[in-house]
Amino acid sequence: MTASLQPARRPVRLRSRLLLSGLLPMTLVALTMVVAFTATYMSSLTTEAQALATAQAFRIGESMVDAGNDEHLRRALQLALTANPPTTLVSLRRDNGRQIVIDNGAPLAKAATYRVTVATPYGELTAISDARPSNDRRTSALWFGTFMTLGILAIFALATCAHASLIVRPLDTVRDRFMRVLRGRPFIEPVQTGVVEFDALDECIDKVAELRAHHEDRMAEALRLRLRDIARQTRFVARFGDHFRQPLQAMGLFVAGMQPGKDLHQRAALAQIGSNLVRMTELLDALMEMARFDAGIVEPLPVDLIASDLFVRERDTCAAEAHRLHVDLRWRGGRLPLHSDGALLGELLHRLVANAMASAPHGRVLVAARRRGRGVRIEVRDNGVGIDFEQQERIFEEFVRLPGHVDYGLGLTIARRIADVLGGQIGVRSRPGAGSTFWVEVDGVDRRGDWNAESTSLRRAS
């Protein structure tokens, strides 16, 4: 599965989301409808006034039928002008050049008139109508649209306040109360919002608070029991080791004090007894070590250190065993900084190196540290016989012995316990006949520039 490459959206506050998703679109639609309605109505008023002026001009022209002379025309125009109030002035230009003008005496504004010219049998007739009534109606329509716009904006403001009062503020109050419960702050009284859903949510917060208190009580009790069990197991492990180690030490002293004489069989038997006592002591120490880790009484103390601090110390510790087994033991990459418990990591590294030397007598073992991401991987490589794939899956289990090893198969098990305590990872890569590589990964230290450490072992281990 691949993650989406689209960037995550920036979260939007609830109030803004309500405005952008609900109120604002509805308000814009309402304002658009009001503007469109007002503009359409004003345009229709203008068209209606112009159509009325045109119709009156034609009616006035029809009133001149059967008018014989100018006096009859003047009287007919006067009667027609009186019957069509919006028209205040008519002018008839005769074909012979004479002009008849009839005015009802009403004042006119040149900017507020409609002028219509029609052709009649008696000449060209021009009718001038007063546009002020139409303009007044258009002004009234404009004011009506303005008031509707202001009303919509007022409703928008009231709805915004209502959203804030009925949704946002109660939700903020419930959220603050819930956050106080989660953070363990002093409990506050329930919130009465008057909204069924928010009151139900507030009741759920009460239940969460009760569950949290109950959970904290149970966790405190479980912690108390766990600490008591750890203390009991610690005492048990200590007594177990003392009770078993004392007889073994006594037997060792007894065997060491025996004088076998010159009998070769007695010498061989005493040597075998001494060897078995040593192995029993090593087994007891390993079991005690595992018991300490399983009991949870080992707490790591991570500090910043350099891999060379571990390499120098373990090189001196493993030198005698490497000389005895004729192993060419080398160390590389010791300047890498890491963050871990030096004592536990040193013990883990010692067990991996001891396992590698036992797997490759008369061979080569390389201990190397290299950066891996933000961590540091320490690898222990040998050119021994290798490990079968089936056995690699069980290599860290109890009492699983590698070919050619004479121990009890607990060294790698303890190494796994140490890695778990340190919070690191441990693993193995191997092929039969091609050697093995055991590795452990721990936290690294991101340092720029020179490493300033308190340790005096800053040289590269070689």
Please report the pLDDT score of residue 187 as a whole number. Answer: 57
- Dihedral over alpha carbons 19, 25, 26, 28 (to 10 degrees): 110
Our measurement of the distance from residue 308's CA atom to the centroid of its chain's CA atoms, rounded to an integer in Å, reads 39
Number of other residues whose CB lies within 10 A of the CB of residue 416: 20
Please report the pLDDT score of residue 190 as a whole number. Answer: 63
- Which pair of tokens denotes residue 148? 């509707």
CB-count exposure of residue 347 (10 Å: 0-12, 13-18, 19+): middle
Contact 65, 97 (CB under 8 A): no
Query: How far apart, in whole angstroms, are the C-alpha atoms of residue 182 and residue 204?
Result: 13
Run means of pLDDT, 10 residues per run, the chain, 462 residues: 48 70 85 93 89 85 72 79 78 79 74 82 83 87 93 90 80 79 66 70 78 86 84 72 72 72 72 71 69 72 87 86 90 86 89 89 91 89 88 81 69 87 90 90 67 39 38
- Which pair of tokens denotes residue 10? 């920036």
Number of other residues whose CB lies within 10 A of the CB of residue 208: 13
Number of other residues whose CB lies within 10 A of the CB of residue 32: 10
Rg, Å, the chain Cα set: 52
Instruction: For residue 89, list its beta bridge partners.
Output: 103, 128
Please report the pLDDT score of residue 407 as a whole number. Answer: 67
Contact 440, 375 (CB under 8 A): no
Please report the pLDDT score of residue 34 as a whole number. Answer: 92
Please report the pLDDT score of residue 9 as a whole number. Answer: 61
Query: How far apart, in whole angstroms, are the C-alpha atoms of residue 460 and residue 462?
Result: 6
